[in-house]
Structure 1
């Protein structure tokens, strides 16, 4: 199994329950339609309206709490998910979301107790071992690392329990991971096995056996991070490890693609600077709101030829700047070109097709007359859609951000892009998109 396939399952580790489909009630129709048509901003607004229409509907409070969780509004999410559980104490989805809200807040014992109640003993054990604090910092609170020149993806040197390794930055995965071979050499604490299940290609359901673990010390230059939860997949030497969004959410992370640098700074120190960058009307920075799904993916709202679309920000995707799903190709009535090529990785023929887009819009960024790859089920496995509750329509890969200095600000749920040169066109002097939610 390839490293990319295993990475696709990593984001599911902290959220293991499938989503149920809304029951079709009239007051849920608009919410359901927004998700189906790729309008997350509209769905967020509809989620706020659901409890107003029926304050005694557990579904309404659950969906409101779900969107607040994706907007990183954790205190509100906890309140509303508890309200949902008061109305329906048996709802396992609400329990799983509440556990994740406690985890992202840093209340580990509360999260572990709910995971144990749900029957996820391995995950509950992992969370409990992170006490008193996961991702505790020692040494510097900020660090600048040079990206390694032999990779098109963001790759940088680290030390795992004192052992040298090379990690990638993975915004598609929630949980970080260390190759089992590296983990054994570094004496990473090994916990229970866990099975991740997902659908892949036409081969049906795959079950991947992974073991949870905990890194005692992860050194990134002069910064040391203690008690880092990880998965321990067997990648047979292809990849040493990945840092997922669960790790990145504790920092303000900047990938400077033109200079080939990675900059990490403890999150609370970046609040004022991030807000100043957004408010300065003379800046060339582009500010895009994002959602952080329960599976750990960073997703952005966009439009393709006037059709709403949900894009995944993927720092591991190389190739054309944009890859679109076949679902979006049909919805937006886009053409398909190309044929088949030989793939040694997949041991056979597979389609290498592309489409042509008249206008691609991501916030204020507008690109015209662009070619985009058409992804396969390898790029858009149905399980990813199933686990986070809505379909992904496109992927923004490394090439899309190649000319930018990209900052991930989880405190304000913003991606800040500083172009080194003009990329497409932008609208508005401040280049600031509508925020996900005002704080």
Structure 2
């Protein structure tokens, strides 16, 4: 596979722990049932056995109800309905307190709602004391001064659709990548040293190659993008970001990830090479150029890490595609799930696919490559992960991400 940008994600440790937890629970339940059958003949202790059986049935029923509530909560999280998610998560927890993922999901939902005190409580309960201490120290994150919208021009780079913008930190200008394929904002270690920013707790990062690395949690005291000022911006310090293989020639020092971008409505105007960050009550029609027309409205989802997924179809099969503005200029990369479902081979990807549809938008004649990234999306209607949509696939359009209505509008 050709060298390409590696996509940063906050490690989903909770999902790994959940899988192990469910396996152990199932394992011990089967062992207990086997021991009862082997040790105590049913006819010898019928009253006691019936009592045990009734209690066991009741426990299983409660666990099923707890799982149903959790599934509803996760569906609400994907649709950015976090207050609803919190209610369902608490109901799930009241029925089955042993699920280790619930506390982490509650912390995530409260952070999305800007309720830091509640988030800290659940971070502590999920045994993430270092992260809880970080939020206690910095106070409310993403404090935004009054504004309506800000317009930022793409900085020239070897790739015309690469959304690099200029930001200001402590009176100095830096280049940051607007990256919907990164769940969190990142800063280069050298930048952190230059402005005197110290890292705190280490957090795991997973790259699209499957490799793992670490970043140090930090807070950017204040960052300005034109007239937009944002205080207390959480970020991760990573080693020499601009010297990674995919970044040669760009020399950017930071990344604006989805934790930052989803605070606003976002317009990416590829034809005019500008980005607009807007208050969430401003509609796309209010900012696109006069004469532009809507050609498609595509619902999107935010997974627990905050990444954007679009639902699409190919050969009548549904998939979820990660939308990644930091992908340089390739149109798509296909996951192993996509390749397996459509019975493709590496050679067959050199031949164009007949059609991929994103809601009402039809994209014909696609060629792609494989991505080693593998994501499971079992909580969203069991739709498999299809791959990554690069920024050049939709470069003809003006893309308006409405995070209140959770819809992507494409304008021409």
Provide the TM-score with structure 1 as the length reference: 0.74
SS at match of 1:231: strand
Query: What's the counterpart of residue 303 of structure 1?
Result: 313
Paired with 1:355 and 1:310, the residues of 2 have a C-alpha distance of: 22
Following TM superposition, by how much is the alpha carbon of 1:355 offset from its aligned partner in structure 2, in angstroms? 4.3
Query: What's the counterpart of residue 397 of structure 2?
Result: 404
SS at match of 1:86: helix
2:229 matched to 1:224? yes
Question: Residues 333 and 371 of structure 2 are in contact (CA less than 8 Å); yes or no, is this contact kept in structure 1?
Answer: no
Rate the CA distance shift 1:264–1:198 in 2: closer, same or farther, 3 A.
closer
Following TM superposition, by how much is the alpha carbon of 1:189 offset from its aligned partner in structure 2, in angstroms? 4.5
SS at match of 2:213: strand
2:175 matched to 1:166? yes
Query: What's the counterpart of residue 262 of structure 1?
Result: 275
Paired with 2:156 and 2:363, the residues of 1 have a C-alpha distance of: 28
Rate the CA distance shift 1:78–1:159 in 2: closer, same or farther, 3 A.
same
**Counterpart selection for 1:314 from 313, 319, 324:** 324
Structure 2, unmatched stretches of 5+, are 27-60, 244-251
Paired with 1:257 and 1:235, the residues of 2 have a C-alpha distance of: 28
Following TM superposition, by how much is the alpha carbon of 1:314 offset from its aligned partner in structure 2, in angstroms? 0.7
SS at match of 1:18: helix
Paired with 2:213 and 2:378, the residues of 1 have a C-alpha distance of: 16
Aligned residues: 355
Query: What's the counterpart of residue 56 of structure 2?
Result: none
SS at match of 2:327: coil
Is 135-144 or 240-249 further displaced after alignment?
135-144
Which whole-Å deviations, capped at 9, do the CAs of 1:31-69 have from their partners, x for residues lacking one?
Answer: xxxxxxxxxxxxxxxxxxxxxx98962111111101101
Paired with 2:333 and 2:204, the residues of 1 have a C-alpha distance of: 29
Following TM superposition, by how much is the alpha carbon of 1:244 offset from its aligned partner in structure 2, in angstroms? 0.9
Question: Residues 169 and 316 of structure 1 are in contact (CA less than 8 Å); yes or no, is this contact kept in structure 2?
Answer: yes
Rate the CA distance shift 1:174–1:198 in 2: closer, same or farther, 3 A.
closer
Query: What's the counterpart of residue 423 of structure 1?
Result: none
Paired with 1:359 and 1:156, the residues of 2 have a C-alpha distance of: 33
Following TM superposition, by how much is the alpha carbon of 1:139 offset from its aligned partner in structure 2, in angstroms? 5.8
Paired with 1:276 and 1:197, the residues of 2 have a C-alpha distance of: 38
**Counterpart selection for 1:250 from 263, 268, 288:** 263
Larger Rg: 2
Paired with 1:309 and 1:104, the residues of 2 have a C-alpha distance of: 26
Structure 1, unmatched stretches of 5+, are 26-52, 339-352, 420-439
SS at match of 1:398: coil
Is 84-93 or 133-142 further displaced after alignment?
133-142
2:303 matched to 1:293? yes
Question: Residues 301 and 308 of structure 2 are in contact (CA less than 8 Å); yes or no, is this contact kept in structure 1?
Answer: yes
Paired with 2:402 and 2:325, the residues of 1 have a C-alpha distance of: 15
Question: Residues 126 and 229 of structure 1 are in contact (CA less than 8 Å); yes or no, is this contact kept in structure 2?
Answer: no
2:195 matched to 1:186? yes
**Counterpart selection for 2:133 from 125, 131, 137:** 125
Question: Residues 313 and 395 of structure 1 are in contact (CA less than 8 Å); yes or no, is this contact kept in structure 2?
Answer: yes
SS at match of 1:113: helix
**Counterpart selection for 2:164 from 140, 155, 166:** 155
2:122 matched to 1:114? yes
Query: What's the counterpart of residue 83 of structure 2?
Result: 75
Question: Residues 313 and 397 of structure 1 are in contact (CA less than 8 Å); yes or no, is this contact kept in structure 2?
Answer: yes
Following TM superposition, by how much is the alpha carbon of 1:405 offset from its aligned partner in structure 2, in angstroms? 0.7
SS at match of 1:17: helix
SS at match of 1:333: coil
Following TM superposition, by how much is the alpha carbon of 1:330 offset from its aligned partner in structure 2, in angstroms? 2.1
Question: Residues 12 and 296 of structure 1 are in contact (CA less than 8 Å); yes or no, is this contact kept in structure 2?
Answer: no
Higher strand fraction: Structure 1 or Structure 2? 1
Is 56-65 or 192-201 further displaced after alignment?
192-201
Following TM superposition, by how much is the alpha carbon of 1:70 offset from its aligned partner in structure 2, in angstroms? 0.9
Which whole-Å deviations, capped at 9, do the CAs of 1:287-307 have from their partners, x for residues lacking one?
Answer: 111110012210011001221
SS at match of 1:250: coil
Query: What's the counterpart of residue 342 of structure 1?
Result: none
Question: Residues 291 and 413 of structure 1 are in contact (CA less than 8 Å); yes or no, is this contact kept in structure 2?
Answer: yes
Question: Residues 5 and 327 of structure 2 are in contact (CA less than 8 Å); yes or no, is this contact kept in structure 1?
Answer: no
Paired with 2:186 and 2:113, the residues of 1 have a C-alpha distance of: 21
Is 328-337 or 69-78 further displaced after alignment?
328-337
2:411 matched to 1:393? no
2:153 matched to 1:146? yes
**Counterpart selection for 1:367 from 351, 363, 366:** 363
Rate the CA distance shift 1:322–1:198 in 2: closer, same or farther, 3 A.
closer
Paired with 2:325 and 2:344, the residues of 1 have a C-alpha distance of: 25
